[in-house]
Structures are given as C-alpha cells and as structure tokens.
Amino acid sequence: MSYVTTLEQTRFVFPDLRTLLAKATPLRSGDVLAGVAADGPVERLAAQMALADLPLAAFVGADVPGVEGDEVSELIAARHDPAAFAPVASLTVGEFREWLLAPEADAAAIGALKWGLTPEMVAAVSKICRMQDLVSIAAKVRVLSAFRSTIGLPGRLATRNQPNHPTDDTRGIAASALDGLLMGTGDAVIGVNPATDSVEDYIRIVTLLDDLRLALEIPTQSCCLGHVTTAMAAMDKGAPVDLVFQSVAGSQKANDEFGVTLAMLAEAQEAALALGRGTVGTNAMYFETGQGSALSAEAHYGVDQQTMEARAYAVAREFDPLLVNTVVGFIGPEYLFNGKQILRAGLEDHFCGKLLGLPMGVDVCYTNHVEADQDDMDTLMITLCAAGVNFVITVPGSDDVMLNYQSLSFHDAVFARETLGLKPAPEFEDWLKRIGLTDAEGRLQDAPPALAGNAAVTGLLELSA
Amino acid sequence: MSGKSRTEALMAPLKAMTEARIGMGRSGGGLPTRASLAFALDHARAKEAVWSEMDRTKLAETLADLGPIGFASSRVSGREEYLTRPDLGRLLGDEADLPGAEPGGLAIVVADGLSATAVELNAAAVLRALVPALGDTGLPLAGIVLARQARVALGDEIAQRMGAAAAVTLIGERPGLSASDSLGAYISWAPRPGMPNADRTCISNIRSGGLVPDLAAAQIARLLKDMKRVGASGLEMKARLATLPAP
C-alpha cells in the first residue's frame, strides 16, 4: 500500500510504511548515510502530513522491516494487546498526538496504553512532535522501578555514578566512585564500563563496588557493564551481581552483533532474580541503546534509525529493567552530526521509551568529532529534566577517560538538584542526610568528618600513601 | 568555595590514582573557573585536530629521502562530508598519483583520518624508524602515499593499485580530551578493497605520551615479518601463528 500527499499540485508518493516513516523523520546524518532520508524539507513535511493522517491501526500486524523470522519483530507482534490499544484504536497518528497532549491524558491513561502501543506507533507520533511536545507528553508519564532505591518518582532525578578507568584499576575506579558519592551521585547505580571483558575482572569490579556500598551502607545498586554472558559466568561463581547489563538493538541481526538473543536475556534475568539482592524492588536488568546501532551493524533493513531505536525498547521492556538509557551522542557524526541532532534524538528516545513503559534515562553525551559542546549538553540536560527523565549518567568532570567521550559531570548533578530542584531517589536522599552530605534542605555539604574516617575511605587513602 | 574544603583535602591524595578529573572542587554546581576553562581548552584542541587539514607538501618534503612519495584523496570533498560519509572516505578519488613499483612490496599510506595533528606530530617519527627496519622483513618499500580525507580502508585500495603484498596505514585517531595526537597503524596482508576489519592488525595510541613512535615502528616491523611468514594478517594471522613452532 502506498501513501500520498498533494501539496500545491505536487504529488508526493511514499510506497510503503518504512519509506513513509523514514522520510517523515527530522533530518539526521544517519538517515542520509543510509539513503533513506527525505530529499528536502518539503518532501519531509509531505511525509509528515501523510503520516499524521495514517490510522494508528495501520501499524497493528505491520512488519515494518519486513524480515522473515526476526525475533524482535515477532516479539513486537506477540506482545501487542488489543484491549490496551482500544482507547486510541480509532485515532490517526496526528489525532494520537493531540490525545497525548490533552489534559485528560494523565499518567494513568498514558501508562495504561503500554502494551497496546508498538515501537513503530510511538516512533511515528514522535516524528510529528516538536521538541516541546516531546517534553510535555513525556513529563506526564511515570515509570517507576526499584532495586535498593526507587527510581522515577515525580520531582526526582537519579544519577548513575560512572567511575570508569582505562585499565580497570581498582584504586582508580574507587577514587572516581568516591568523588561522585561526595557530590551526591549514584542513586540509579554505580556502574563501571570495563575496559576488559574477562570474568575475573568482572568479578573484581563488582566486588570492589559491593564492598564500597556495604562499607558506606549506601542504598543503591552496582553494575559492571560487561557482556551478559560474562555476568552469567560471574553469577555462576557466586559474584555479588546486582544488575545485569546488556546493550540491545532493534533487530535480531543487530542483536547478533552484540552477541545476544532474547533467550539469553531471559536466562540472565532469571539468574539475577534468583540472587534476591534487591531490597525495595526486583528490577534487576540494565540496558543501553542508541540510534544508529542497527545501521552500523548493517541490520536496519532500510528502516530509519529512530524507528529502529524504538524497536530496541520492545526488547528492553520484556525484561522489567531497573534502568534503560540511550547513549545518544556517543555514536558519532555519521549518525547524529551536531548538537541540534543530538538534542532532538535524546528527547525522542526518552519520549518513545517512556510511552513504551520503560524507566528511561539518557546518557547526555558527545564525542570530539561531532559539532557539539558543553552548551549543547546543558541544553539537553535541562530539557530532559523538564521532561521528567528518570536518570542521567555522570562522570568526573564530564570526561570519561576510558570511553573517551564527554558525558554529564558529577557537578551537573549538583546543578540539577540545587537549581532545578530535583531530588535524588528517596532512599538515597535519606542516606545523604543521615551521613551529613546534605543538609535538611538537600543542599550538598562539605565531606563530613565521619566519612573521612570510614574504613573504606581510609583503606583507599592508605593505598594512595 | 574559598580555601580548601574537607572534600578537596580528602580527594587530593586520590588524584594520583586516575587520570579522571576528580577532586576539582566546586562553586555551587559549577566548576572552579580555571578548571572550566582548562576543559574548554582541551576540547578546543581536539576540535582543531579533527577540523585541520594535513599539510601534504610539507610532509612530502620531510619524507622525500625515505622513498618514492605519492598522493591520493578519497571521494570526499570536504571535512564535513568526511565526518558524515564514511562510505565515501573509503573509496579512492580520481586524481591519485601513486608511485610505480615492483609488485610484492610494502605500501605505506599516511592518512589524515580524524586527526591531522596526529599525522603532523608523529607520522614522520614512526616512518624514520620503520623504513630502515624493513630490510629485516623481506618487504621492499613500494612507496609512501599521503592520503587526504581518508578512512582506514582507503589504504588497502591504494596498496592494491600499487601491487603491494602488504599495507601499513598510519591514520589520525579520534581525538580524546587528554590527547588529540594519537596515531593508529593498520596493517594488512594482501590488501584489497572490501577487506573485513578482522583481517587487519591494529596498533593504536601511537604518540609521545603513549606508545612512542620508535616502539610502534618496531612492533609494526615485527608484525610484517609474521604476516609474510604465515601469509595472513588480522585474526587469521593470530590463528596461523598459534599453529606454528616459535621461530
């Protein structure tokens, strides 16, 4: 079936859903690279108008990539719930946008759609939303998740403390983690991207993070972001694994590139839950995604990168994660060229993740070969905070010395608390007050003397001597 | 904050444990001014490395005594297109001027990649150490080609056109904040367009503060010897070497 818009006697014809979605996507370099982008701003608008008039129901049972036997497409089809879809089943994509913006669509109404919406539906509506729409709609959605802390409550922002080190040095990781804790970060997770992927290093890293957590009695969870198979092997050996991590993407072939299948993720989730380490909840998975990963694996099937990204969320929501974040500016200028494209993509990803029911966070980040700087990151962070983002990534001084890119800083977390008024997870907020790192109003204080005398801290200091 | 806080005093001895920007102090949610500007300077250096052009004339003069010099460009027209179209950066453009050579030698390609700064600071030093060591590898130098707007794979196509048995592509790596002058070396046996990444052997972080040029050259020469011995590069070279007795 083809889709047509006529603008002042010019007929624009889009032969299939895949083409319509791609051409309706706001400009980004990855779609140009893939050869699927609109030929210009007028054709893009024609596609957006055709898309706005398309019934949402056109996506039910539609296989957008059209690849026989793709397990992500099969999962999307199998999970679609007609009863949950019923409230919006008669709407077009354009009417759905208005439905979402209207005050009647509150957290409960939008949340009830979760299993009625497919990734392609939410990608479609995001393409005809301005940034302000992406903020106002997402801000109404609440997705809570919990392990030792509760993430996603209104008026709160959690942070991942990311103490990476280029050689996974134990003291280097501990020093950065402590720096972040002293700035009040780490309520989402204290999570290390390992430079190596051996089981021994994985176990050493989760053990050092767990020791730090126990010594300071921090109500949070830790994670080593190694491969899911490494996590499984570590759990087999009795390692203290809180969250199991995996990068995921929107097609089976793209997930093959990551060396992961749905069955492996199910097995890993089961193993993590069997450890019973959560105290206030049982969300034990952590996923990262990012626009362009399917294209870079040549596993996009002519589908635009933003729709493929939304399909990754269908994978993530299958496993009740504690945390999901897009690593939005990491992939490079051939996918997202500049600050403008990163800003838009970060808000789209957050919006689509939230509508699909994910506890969505964002790694607000960039590399040195994209046209972006700290000002762009400030804008994205502030906009995401207005949109109610569940958590953001923070690193020492915005400089990740292992992955060689710039993310938000521990300082930025202080800014979000004190200028934007966003509190940490309630369990973590209590801990910060109890040990004296924040005052009664939640303002960050100088390191309390008692903390400097803690065994974990003095142990680290002795190692430095 | 004026004066040294307890947080800063606590973190000060830990700074030696990592290159990460820890213990920097703060003013509210902001960095101290000096640290904020120092970060911006590191970023400015990295941007400059990405956007600057390689000075091929000057480099050709510097390297002239080492062997025949050639010139090539990819199909990319400018820096912005280079960043957004990696596919075009892998294809050889029309106006290549490649040295003629006997088949079976080594083609060296010096490519700007993502950091012309890395090439400017380190390429000549690597080649000054590498070229004299080639006698030991049994691979005569077919020539050195200076390639603009180039991705790694362009080196393989250039080397194939020159009839070379092996290619060494020295290319500017994506600049980090702490170092914007890292050079990478990609080495391939039987170079050809469309080679999978797994068929190349890579050495990275070549710079004065990382893997120093002399050591990098020695490593490259040793790898070339191994490649010639087993007739493969990349993962296949590793696999074949594993089945052989030590030389």
| Residues on chain B touching A451 (C-beta within 8 angstroms) | 10
**Cα dist from B202 to A99, B18, B183, B184, B187, whole Å:** 54, 26, 11, 7, 6
- Residue A464: band (very low, low, confident or very high) from pLDDT cuts 50, 70, 90: low
The token pair that represents B19 in the structure block? 């290159």
With an 8 Å Cβ cutoff, are B18 and A183 in contact? no
Rounded to the nearest angstrom, the minimum Cα separation between B238 and chain A is: 19
Rounded to the nearest angstrom, the minimum Cα separation between B115 and chain A is: 10
Q: What pLDDT digit, counting tens, does each position of B197-236 carry?
A: 889 999 999 998 889 999 999 999 999 999 999 999 998 9
Size of interface A-B (CB pairs under 8 A): 145
With an 8 Å Cβ cutoff, are A399 and B178 in contact? yes
Residues 6+ apart with CB under 8 A from A185: A159, A160, A161, A394, A410, A413
Residues 6+ apart with CB under 8 A from B164: B101, B103, B104, B105, B106, B107, B142, B191
What is the reported pLDDT for B1? 45
Domains with residue ranges and CATH for chain B: 56-243 (3.40.50.11240)
Q: Structurally, what CATH architecture does the domain formed by A3-138 represent?
A: Orthogonal Bundle (1.10)
The predicted model gives A179-196 an average pLDDT of 96
Is residue A181 less than 8 Å (CB to CB) from chain B? no
Indicate the Cα dihedral angle A313, A316, A318, A322, nearest 10°: -130
Rounded to the nearest angstrom, the minimum Cα separation between B74 and chain A is: 16
Residue of B nearest to A454 (CA): B10
Selecting from A176, A418, A465 the residue whose C-beta is nearest the C-beta of B22 gives: A176
CB A222 within 8 A of CB A244: no
Q: Could you tell me the residue ranges of all domains in chain A? A: 3-138, 145-434
Rounded to the nearest angstrom, the minimum Cα separation between A342 and chain B is: 14
Selecting from B7, B16, B177 the residue whose C-beta is nearest the C-beta of A406 gives: B177
Chain A stretch 278-337, residues whose beta carbon is closer than 8 A to a beta carbon of chain B: 332-334, 337
Is residue B242 less than 8 Å (CB to CB) from chain A? no
The token pair that represents B126 in the structure block? 């690597």
Q: What are phi and psi of B73, to 5 degrees?
A: -135, 155
Selecting from A175, A337, A448 the residue whose C-beta is nearest the C-beta of B18 gives: A175
The pairing of strands B106-111 and A408-409 is unpaired
What is the reported pLDDT for A114? 98
Chain B stretch 64-103, residues whose beta carbon is closer than 8 A to a beta carbon of chain A: 83-87
The token pair that represents B201 in the structure block? 């052997």
What is the reported pLDDT for A67? 95
| Amino acid, single-letter form, for residue A204 | R
The predicted model gives A207-230 an average pLDDT of 96
Report which DSSP code applies to B169: E
Q: What are phi and psi of B170, to 5 degrees?
A: -95, 125
With an 8 Å Cβ cutoff, are A464 and B13 in contact? yes
| Residues on chain B touching A401 (C-beta within 8 angstroms) | 18-20, 176, 178
Of all residues in chain A, the percent with pLDDT exceeding 70 is 100
Residue of A nearest to B87 (CA): A33
What is the reported pLDDT for B245? 78
**Cα dist from A347 to A8, A126, A133, B73, B147, whole Å:** 33, 9, 10, 38, 39
The DSSP secondary structure of A172-222, one letter per residue, reads: HHHHHHHHHHHTT--SSEEEE--SS--HHHHHHHHHHHHHHHHHHT-S--E
Q: Mark the ranges of chain B whose per-residue pLDDT is less than 70.
A: 1-3, 246-247
With an 8 Å Cβ cutoff, are B6 and A447 in contact? yes
Q: Given a cut of 60, is residue A111 above it in pLDDT? A: yes
Q: At the topology level of CATH, where does A145-434 sit?
A: TIM Barrel (3.20.20)
CB A222 within 8 A of CB A242: yes
With an 8 Å Cβ cutoff, are B84 and A334 in contact? yes
Q: Given a cut of 90, is residue A70 above it in pLDDT? A: yes
With an 8 Å Cβ cutoff, are A460 and B6 in contact? no
- Residue A456: band (very low, low, confident or very high) from pLDDT cuts 50, 70, 90: confident
What is the reported pLDDT for B10? 92
Residue of B nearest to A178 (CA): B11
Q: How far apart are CA A264 and CA A242, in angstroms?
A: 17
| Residues on chain B touching A29 (C-beta within 8 angstroms) | 84
What is the reported pLDDT for A465? 59
Average pLDDT over chain A reads 96
Beta strands (DSSP E) in B102-165 are 106-111, 141-148
What is the reported pLDDT for B2? 45
What is the reported pLDDT for B246? 67
Is residue B26 less than 8 Å (CB to CB) from chain A? yes
Q: How far apart are CA A93 and CA A110, in angstroms?
A: 15
What is the reported pLDDT for A346? 98
What is the reported pLDDT for A323? 98
